[in-house]
Structure 1
Amino acid sequence: MKKPFLGFLFAIILAFSTTVRAEGMCGENESVIFNCELHSSTASLCEAKDAKVLTYRYGKEEKIELEISDAGFKRGNIFHFSDVPYSGGGEAHIRFSRGGYTYYLYDKTVKTESGPQFSAGIVIYRGIRRIGDRICVNDASIRQSAYSEIEREEYRDIRSK
């Protein structure tokens, strides 16, 4: 009789000791702007529901490798949004920089003969040199709120896949 109780007790302790996540790397008091699952990690842009602070997190649930936030900054100093329409589709970006690297979160829809083709991911530049294009393995997209809540800038071609 004691073994089921100990298992139940362990499950309760584990549930309270882990961080509660809403989706991806976002917390329960944050809404998701972008959530990209990669092969062994996750990249999420989250917005605090009460403070309207944007925070980008990259890593695994147990270890965040990169976190960038606009807390304490005027909105529009860290994260920037741009988009461009295509015939039968379009592309949207959220850009931010840190330590000589520039990151573009993107989603893209392109019209093809067999119907629309969707892609999303992260393009990374070091200075002006493109060093990476990581493709999301989930059905990622930039949420509608980004179109009105993130400071807009002129669209730049990032040569995403």
Structure 2
Amino acid sequence: MTFRKAWALALMGLAVAGPAGAGAVGLCSPGEEPVLSCPVEGGKVLSLCATGAGGPAAGLKLQYRFGRPGKPELVYPDRPASAKGRFFLSTTPFSGGGEERVRFRSGPYDYLVFQRDIAGAWNEDGTRDHYQDEGVAVEKDGKVVGVRLCLGPTENSGFPKMYDRLEREARDPIDRP
């Protein structure tokens, strides 16, 4: 193989893989941590990206991105900005699990990026099955008008870091349409 062919193949691999550190499934940039990032139907990706997640609450910046890599359909806010007054955390404990939500408002819609773990029936060996799902729910006038569930590999390690850094709000679990 010639040097030129090897170089062309390497560049094609980089174009497919995306920027280093962005993760296999996400729209977060190097230096950002995915709170939640995953593919959804239609070849699209949702990502809630954080900077300053390991520091004081005042330094936390969040940005939500949805769409195809390089072709976002929704970015909120336009630039990564302080989470204060823009993003809110709510949690609901369930027996053997729970639901965590980060909410923001864009126009007339509330977006709830969520992850949930629900305990199933008890097995004969004393263990329980657990069901997990993650995604984004969209509400208008307090009613869910759409849900996009994560379909593939999910990066969701950032939720615990939001507990002491986001303003809390009381909300009921997401009621699917």
**Common topology (TM > 0.5):** yes
2:48 to 13, 20, 45: 45
* Distance in 2, Cα, partners of 1:155 & 1:129: 13
2:172 maps to 156
Gaps of 5+ in 2: 54-58, 124-128
**Greater relative contact order (Cα 8 A, min sep 6): structure 1 or 2?**
2
Cα distance in 1 for residues equivalent to 2:3 and 2:115: 47
CA contact (8 A) 1:53 1:70 kept: no
Structure 2 contact 144–176 (Cα < 8 Å) conserved: no
Counterpart Cα distance in 1 of 2:76 and 2:107: 11
Root mean square deviation of aligned Cα: 2.7
Alpha-carbon distance in structure 1 between the residues aligned to 2:52 and 2:85: 19
Question: What's the % identity of the aligned pairs?
Answer: 25
2:148 aligned with 1:134, yes or no?
yes
Matched, 1:28 2:30: yes
The TM-score with structure 2 as length reference comes to 0.76
TM-score (norm 1): 0.82
Of stretches 70-79 and 29-38 in structure 1, the one that deviates more from structure 2 is 70-79
1:25 to partner: Cα distance: 0.6
Taking structure 1 as reference, are residues 157 and 92 closer, same or farther at Cα in structure 2, changes over 3 Å only? Answer: same
Which residue of 2 is the match for residue 6 of structure 1? 4
**Using a 3 Å threshold, how does the CA distance of structure 1 residues 105 and 160 change in structure 2: closer, same or farther?**
farther
Q: Does 1:111 align with 2:111?
A: no
Distance 1:77 1:107 in 2: 22
Q: 1:83-141 deviations in whole A, cap 9, x for unaligned?
A: 01111111111101111111111111111115111111111112333210111113544
Aligned residues: 158
SS of residue in 1 equivalent to 2:92: strand
